Amino acid sequence: MRYFGTDIVSSQLVETHKGDDLTIEDRQVFGKRRSNRSTTSYVERANLTVRMANRRYSRKTNGFSKKLENHRASVDLFVMYYNWIRVHETLGTAPAVAAALADGHTRWSG
């Protein structure tokens, strides 16, 4: 909430297993819900994007960070690149440009 204000929505899908029965409860934590059902699709897609772009998140790799400081720097670089430099196919530009946080001339080419 500190950075996103009132535009952020948080909810939980809680699965309860009792024998062969499964119940799923959709709990709203905070924010104004835009639909009747929560989904993990956006979170899972974000996790996949990070894992595919940053070797440090791949399983069984020697690209892991030995120091927390190096890991933080790697995450910072990825987030900066993904939001400010990378041209997204669906947007046709970088997200920061699409959100009017930057002009199209500040991006690096290449």
Domain assignments of the chain as residue spans, ordered by start: 1-37
17-55 pLDDT, tens digit per residue, is 998 999 988 777 777 766 666 677 777 888 888 888 887
| pLDDT at 2 (0 to 100) | 63
Q: For residues 102 and 86, give the distance between their C-alpha atoms in angstroms, rounded to a whole number.
A: 13
Greater model confidence, 63 or 71: 71
Which residues sit opposite 10 in a β-bridge?
A: 30
Q: For residues 40 and 11, give the distance between their C-alpha atoms in angstroms, rounded to a whole number.
A: 10
Judge whether 107 and 95 are in contact, CB under 8 Å. Answer: no
**CA angle, 58 then 62 then 63, to 5°:** 60
pTM for this prediction: 0.57
Residue 41 phi, psi dihedral angles, 5° rounding: -55, -45
